[in-house]
Structure 1
Amino acid sequence: MEAKSKKPFSPKGGKKLTQKGKDSIGAKLGGKPGGKKPFKPYNNTERKGRPWKGGDGDKKQQKFAFSKAGNGPQKRKLPHFKGKNEEDGGEGPVAKRTKKGEFKPKSKELSKEDLKKNRQQRKKDLKNNRQQAERKDMKNCDSDLKKKLMKELHDLIRGKIKQMAFAHDSVRVLQCFIQFGSHEQRQETFEELKDDVIGLCKSQYGRHVVKKLLMYGNKELVAAVMQTFKGHVKSMLRHAAASSIIEYAYNDKAVLAQRLMLTEELYGNTFTICKDMALRRKELLEVLSPPLLEYLHDNAATMVTDKATSVTVSDILASACGDLQPAMTAVAQLANQELLPGGISGQLHMAEHPAGHLVLKWLIEQDMTLAEAGKEERFGRILVDTVGTDNLKSWIKVNRGAMVLCSLLNSCDKSVAAEVKTALESIKSELSSMSNNKGAEILLENLNK
């Protein structure tokens, strides 16, 4: 079977097919071959004159030019906004740059002479102070001369100690004065610096003054210096200079109570939210003392003869605030009767009672504590005035009564001891005949002193 030949394709109507488009050199396909496009120079004036392109009157956004010399785009120039004065047509005020030394020229001129005088006076004082300190270090300086030099140096620095403590050149003189001065001079130095101790501890040069006070001060001065640290320990431990002072005070100078005081801030906020222990105790005693003294006055017989509550009698009278005489008189009134060995109807005399005679001894010996606390009441005097010397003589019949009389002979009130001794001198022969009474023997030894 023979293959039929394909007929060539021809468009309808006999029209020739022409290719549309352009070749690589810009000539139309199927047309005349085009030549090179003639060069036409670029004219800016023609572009500006074209109405369809953006010119001077056009407000379209323009692109920013790039410079060939730079690596990237240049900074955009911000549009200039006219100020209020420029809009009005006037020129605005121009800020004048102040020159160095133009601030407060009058005050400097006025105080220039005063500053010069002060500098000269400080130099003169520092020179005198250094001379005094250097003379102290001489080999032929004996103790008398050293005291004289320290006294002269004290007169020179009095009133200027705070200023010297913070200065790098005069602080060494102050350290020398603290080291070789007397306790009174150190105490006076501390009194002048006590409000600035924390600042001195944080100072590069002043901390040495505080360390010298701790190093050469007596117990009272060391305790006073440490008391100024209270409430500032946490901040001082975080400071490079002050932490060394806390370390020296804690390790080398502080006793147990002072160490507890220094570390109490490190255990929480108890120190900041609670009152001081001494203040809390004082306030509590002021509230509790009146009802306690009233209860002791009304129930003295029950409390004195009971072994459990007899211990609290001396504690109440030792710590209570206010008038102690009514309660003391109520206790002494229980012993205001003649002592009969074995008691009356089975009821023992207070001086013979196992708990009662201890209460009498404790209260007599407690007069020393009351005197140190500044209280005027003395149980020994109240007991002698209430019971009387005649009834006191009958106490020698029992061992416990004789021991109470020994406490009266050793009372801190000399008038009480003398009065009791005079009353017992008349029965010394009776005491000598009591061979089976150990308390009478001890009482006789106290009478013979």
Structure 2
Amino acid sequence: MKKSLKIISLFTLVVVLILTVTSCKKDKKDTIRIASVGPISGDVAIYGNSTKKGIELAIEEINNNGGILVDDKQMKIEWVGMIDDEASSDKAATAFNTQYAKNIDLMLGAITSGATEGLVGQAIGKKLLVITPTGTADYITVGKNGDERDLRTNIFRACFNDSYQGEVAAKFISNNLKKTRVAVLYNNEDSYSMGLYNSFKNLATTNQIDIVYEQSYQNNSVDFKTAWNSIKSSGAEVVFLPEYYEKVVTIVSQGRDAGYNGTIVGADGWDGVLSVDGVDENDFTNCYFSNHFAVDSNEAVVNNFVNSYKSKYNENPTSFAALGYDAVYIYKKAVEEAKSIEFDKVLEVLTSSNFYADVVTGRITFAANGNAVKPAVVMTFENKNYKYYTTVE
């Protein structure tokens, strides 16, 4: 009996020692592990691939400069990579679980709003910081009824949200374009398009805007001629079109072919229209869209980013690239202020009213609901390029 007790005691001691060593190793990590989930194939692959490039550039820069200062120790970032979710909510959820199992410190994702909600469903309750660089749907940080922030305290976004973009569009049309008669085309099967439509509609009257015509369509819609003829008959001076870039090209092209020469206004989903095969840049004369940064800005932080990005990838960065890049630097600043990579300590810094980060897309702070607070830029088109037009706050 005594011999058995000795064996049990020895076994218990060994287990305790193993757990202690494992715990120490976990507390004394040599690298900070960052992972992502996003669409790197499919219809909106440009979003995932652009964001991935921005993330990788930021990580490369930080590591080349010694890493992130955690208390008195420089820690390099280990890039776990981006798993393709094809902009699918279910695939994003599965991809999150795969990445989470790799003992990561930060999840950057997902990229599209619907996929991000699928990912968030798996991230709720876990001691892991999640920053979506580009997921704009309002519900991502607060739930679809707006009452889940206490469950989603680990969820943040580096971009602004749909309600804010709808507000920006309304203010821009009213204050900058001085127009009042507006038509709206929106996709009632897409959360991004619906979020912007609802926000814009709710703020129209406040901004002296009269919505003279509105028409919904579906994901598989391809013929918009009837809608454009109705828009022409309505006397609309401006059309608000909250949609992603590939479908934007189709809709705008059909509008111009139908003889509508008025102003068309969109949001950040338009970023990428000039990369679509067969696009006629002339169709986008008298068009504007809200965005997160202007590639032709003369600000030093933007110039440095654009030059570094072009040097590495031989192309201009999109706003998705800038937001992926910024998300890494936001985390870097939070960790350095926390002097720790422990979840609770980094979260405390991010939720502090004193926290801010000066990044490519502007000075960013976080509201209590995890949303980014920062200005928006409005872009137009000139000489087959995007061109900065104004800033709206």
Q: Which has the higher Rg, Structure 1 or Structure 2? A: 1
Say which structure, 1 or 2, has more relative contact order (CA 8 Å, 6+ apart).
2
TM value normalised by structure 2? 0.26
Indicate the structure with greater strand content. 2
- Which structure is higher in helix share? 1
Which TM-score applies when normalising by structure 1? 0.24
